[in-house]
């Protein structure tokens, strides 16, 4: 029987919160994931770090990943979606790694069955992608030929503005750089991928509206166009 789920952290009952904090189960909603106490969960891994729960979620993910840089254990297959998310952020922070190494490390997390881990996968390496955006687009163009979760990662990770992350100034100025990825994803049979492409273009519309209009006219994909142009309507 499916368990009851909770959309707000404040709604999560004590016993479920304890299970989440011990890393015994996955969160079923964003609200449940936001309820996890990172300090308690880290201690189940034997890592003593104090993460202020009052900080923003991406800041907490980053601090937890920093505490795990020297951790010698398998985070990528942990039962907790939060811990698997830490693995993605750790890949983004590993000193001396190339962009290829970071992307290879998060590839299985980008295909994770859990919706939250797939988000942490691209967020964890987004700073590295942003720092080498033209090279990253070249690498992710190959991902855009893969299965749906990889295609979605390639689009979402390169959004000019994105969610819970810093903007990419070069793509805001010249969004055409992203077309090698977007052209492969716009006609995707998966709505999950099409939504990401539309959101990518909605980001671009805030700085380059004519580019977005012209590209949508060329694509002629009604669902993507409608969502991509929503800020310009």
pLDDT, tens digit (0-9, with 9 covering 90-100), for 42-58: 999 999 999 999 999 99
Q: Would residue 20 count as lying in a domain?
A: no
Range of weakest confidence among 24-33, 97-106, 191-200, 224-233: 224-233
Going by pLDDT thresholds of 50, 70 and 90, the confidence category of residue 2 is confident
**At 163, is the pLDDT very low, low, confident or very high (cuts 50, 70, 90)?**
confident
Q: Domain range spanning residue 184? A: 140-233
**130 occurs within a structural domain:** no
Which of the four pLDDT bands, split at 50, 70 and 90, describes residue 10?
very high
CA–CA dist 86, 145 (Å, integer): 27
The answer as to whether 164 is a domain residue is yes
Contact 5, 29 (CB under 8 A): yes
Q: Is position 73 within any domain?
A: no
**Per-residue tokens: 49:** 């770090």
Q: How many domains does one find in the chain?
A: 1
User: Rounded mean pLDDT of the chain?
Assistant: 96
pLDDT value of residue 107? 98
The Cα–Cα gap between 185 and 193 comes to: 7
The tokens describing 130, both together, are 């942003």
The average pLDDT across 10-34 equals: 97
CA distances from 15 to 11, 27, 28, 115, 120 (A): 12, 13, 15, 23, 25
Q: What is the pLDDT of residue 233?
A: 74
CB 185 within 8 A of CB 197: yes
Domain annotation covers residue 196: yes
The CATH number of whichever domain residue 151 belongs to comes to 1.25.40.290
User: What secondary structure, in 3-state letters, does 54-72 show?
Assistant: CCCHHHHHHHHHHHCCCCC
Q: Is residue 148 part of a domain?
A: yes
What is residue 1's predicted lDDT score, i.e. its pLDDT? Answer: 67
Has residue 189 been placed in a domain? yes
Taking every pair of Cα atoms in the chain, the longest distance, rounded to a whole number of angstroms, is 55
Which pLDDT band, with edges at 50, 70 and 90, does 179 fall under? very high
What is the predicted pLDDT for the residue at 112?
Answer: 98
| 8 found inside a domain | no
What percent of the chain stands above pLDDT 90? 96
Summarised one tens digit per residue, pLDDT across range 60-108 is 999 999 999 999 999 999 999 999 999 999 999 999 999 999 999 999 9
pLDDT in tens, 117-162: 999 999 999 999 999 999 999 999 999 999 999 999 999 999 999 8
Cα–Cα nearest to 143, from 87, 98, 104: 104
Q: Which helix (H) or strand (E) holds 86?
A: helix 81-93
| pLDDT value for 127 | 97
């Amino acid at each position: 029987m499916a368990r009851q789920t909770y959309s707000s952290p404040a709604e999560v009952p004590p016993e479920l919160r304890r299970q989440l904090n011990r890393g015994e189960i996955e969160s079923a909603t964003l609200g449940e994931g936001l309820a996890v106490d990172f300090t308690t969960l880290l201690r189940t891994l034997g890592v003593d770090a104090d993460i202020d729960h009052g900080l923003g979620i991406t800041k907490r993910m980053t601090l937890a990943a920093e505490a795990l840089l020297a951790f010698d254990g398998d985070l990528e297959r942990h039962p907790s979606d939060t811990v698997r998310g830490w693995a993605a952020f750790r890949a983004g922070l590993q000193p001396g790694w190339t962009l290829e190494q970071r992307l290879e490390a998060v590839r299985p997390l980008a295909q994770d069955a859990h919706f939250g881990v797939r988000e942490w996968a691209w967020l964890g390496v987004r700073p590295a992608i942003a720092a080498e955006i033209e090279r990253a687009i070249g690498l992710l163009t190959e991902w855009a030929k893969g299965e749906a979760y990889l295609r979605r990662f390639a689009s979402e990770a390169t959004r000019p503005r994105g969610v819970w992350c810093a903007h990419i100034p070069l793509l805001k100025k010249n969004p055409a750089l992203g077309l090698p990825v977007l052209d492969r994803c716009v006609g995707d049979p998966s709505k999950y991928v099409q939504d990401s492409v539309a959101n990518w273009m909605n980001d671009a519309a805030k700085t380059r509206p004519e580019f977005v209009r012209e590209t949508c006219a060329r694509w002629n994909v009604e669902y993507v166009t409608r969502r991509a142009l929503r800020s310009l309507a």
